[in-house]
Structure 1
């Protein structure tokens, strides 16, 4: 029965034009909930949901994501008459600290591109950095999305919204060497369609490791953070950055306006160097 409800919830979300990535993520969250609680969705209580979200060793952002999935799912169950109450509606909001960008440096991007990664992995890295795409958007780039005359690229953002964005010249040059009439990154082993976002994550992560980048906070999504950070560094208006990153709210884009590590390094180096004395000079003052 619960599998049937998850299938129906997936159809409900597709009817609302939500992205397949969102649908898959929510299904994974709800499947984990079902396994952890051990009772049918129709019988779960507010306490069950709180225990699941309140488990230790889970990041605040993940708690917030899981809460959103539960609210959406149990709202659907009420709308379809499976339940008369919505226990998720009483879940308290999750207090999450303001996020900070975790960007790759330009030197790290160069290192990944020259780390021995294959052609298609290098192409993924370039699309992530020069267009600021999430891994799910990188995975589904199609030759028909690229217009070299208008210098635009089409993609699907969060919420299933189709966006047409300016095409960076580096990606325009890349497009000349990519399939013009099919997926840039087709699925492997005879499967149809494009690869999954998880496959993009795995390939870029391998390139990161080959480049000797060990920082665990740097992930394939950090290419997108590098895109936003470097645009702000170059003086691009924050409202333009918002549109290029397909953010719904300017508040989301504001995290990129903080002072970067590079500027902090440049700032501290402006203090002039001085010779460090070998002796304290205390004896000379006493003698005087």
Structure 2
């Protein structure tokens, strides 16, 4: 539904947007979450243009776009309270769409595309110390009065820390994935598959949980069950972590995702190389792994010189 004061998208523009999203989903293997975010970004932009110029935006009419149009959009988004990081992502989606429109319509949009995105400082993740991570897993295994649920929580967190999984990846496992082999095949963001070694301690934690779980293990059913038998919700795992971190006096940054950060950082500290850690995490870019582990540029250069055949 269009909000008051906003012009609806013209049918031609709606069609163009739908086709671009299909291209992004099909050829760039974007996740459904990313496609939804892109749709929201572009709808906000195109409706802004309609209000700004007093007439719905049309694909061919985008040839008249100027830097001032994109700057006005950025100013309007900031006035609505959008942060620099979110605005940068939104403008990146807009530029991708405009480049596609330029090719499709044969128009020159170089003036509009030269607009710079706002700078933002990416906050570094805060991993747990190794002893904190071990204590966190121990506390999770003792925190619930129902033995199978306590074993389940310990198994999930051990898997996140021991394999560096995203919480969605861990909770997305099904009965067919058990018993774990030496490595798990994980399908992560963008549909990218990776092989993740399974430590004996993680294998044993899951085995202990399954031995106590009252629900039968079936190939097409979730591996980790909620109290009523459905797939375990990420919010339950987050609550378990919150209670444990409060008991340990840890900051709010000690979340389930921090266990994934801890996995990467502790591997690096133990002598693991960035490229291998990148593969284990399923990152598309080494720069993402660099930020993830808190590696500075000097360390990255040292790794590069040691690994490069002409170093």
**TM-score, normalising length from structure 2?**
0.62
Q: Per-residue deviation at 1:223?
A: 2.0
Match of 1:102 among 103, 111, 126: 126
Q: Per-residue deviation at 1:112?
A: 4.4
Match of 1:204 among 219, 228, 237: 237
Q: Who is 2:23 aligned against? A: 12
1:208-254 alpha-carbon deviations (Å, 9 max, x no partner): 33222673434432221111122223333333322222233433333
Q: Is 2:166 the partner of 1:134?
A: yes
Q: Distance in 1 between matches of 2:19 and 2:127?
A: 38
Q: Distance in 2 between matches of 1:206 and 1:91?
A: 42
SS of equivalent residue, structure 1 residue 164: strand
Asked if structure 1 preserves the Cα contact closer than 8 Å seen for 2:167 and 2:257, the reply is yes
1:35-62 alpha-carbon deviations (Å, 9 max, x no partner): 7777456478423432255457555433
Q: Who is 1:169 aligned against? A: 200
Q: Distance in 2 between matches of 1:77 and 1:187?
A: 46
Q: Who is 1:115 aligned against? A: 143
**TM-score, normalising length from structure 1?**
0.65
Q: Per-residue deviation at 1:113?
A: 4.7
Q: Which deviates more from structure 2 when the two are superposed, residues 172-181 or residues 20-29?
A: 172-181
The structure with more helix, counted as a fraction of residues: 2
RMSD of aligned Cα (Å): 4.2
Asked if structure 2 preserves the Cα contact closer than 8 Å seen for 1:146 and 1:154, the reply is no
User: CA, structure 1 residues 252+28, in 2 after alignment: closer, same or farther (shift >3 Å)?
Assistant: same
Asked if structure 1 preserves the Cα contact closer than 8 Å seen for 2:155 and 2:206, the reply is no
Q: Who is 1:222 aligned against? A: 258
Asked if structure 2 preserves the Cα contact closer than 8 Å seen for 1:154 and 1:164, the reply is yes
1:100-139 alpha-carbon deviations (Å, 9 max, x no partner): 2222341345444543394655444333222212234234
Matches within 5 A, 1:8-87: 8-16=19-27, 17-30=29-42, 33=45, 39=51, 40=56, 42=58, 45-52=69-76, 54-55=78-79, 58-78=82-102, 81=105, 85=109
SS of equivalent residue, structure 1 residue 62: helix
Asked if structure 1 preserves the Cα contact closer than 8 Å seen for 2:195 and 2:280, the reply is no
Q: Distance in 1 between matches of 2:172 and 2:272?
A: 27
Q: Per-residue deviation at 1:77?
A: 4.3
Q: Who is 1:184 aligned against? A: 223
Count, aligned residues:
252
Q: Who is 1:272 aligned against? A: none
Q: Who is 1:233 aligned against? A: 269
Query: Which structure 1 segments of 5+ residues have no match?
Result: 260-288
Q: Distance in 2 between matches of 1:34 and 1:114?
A: 53
Q: Who is 1:154 aligned against? A: 185
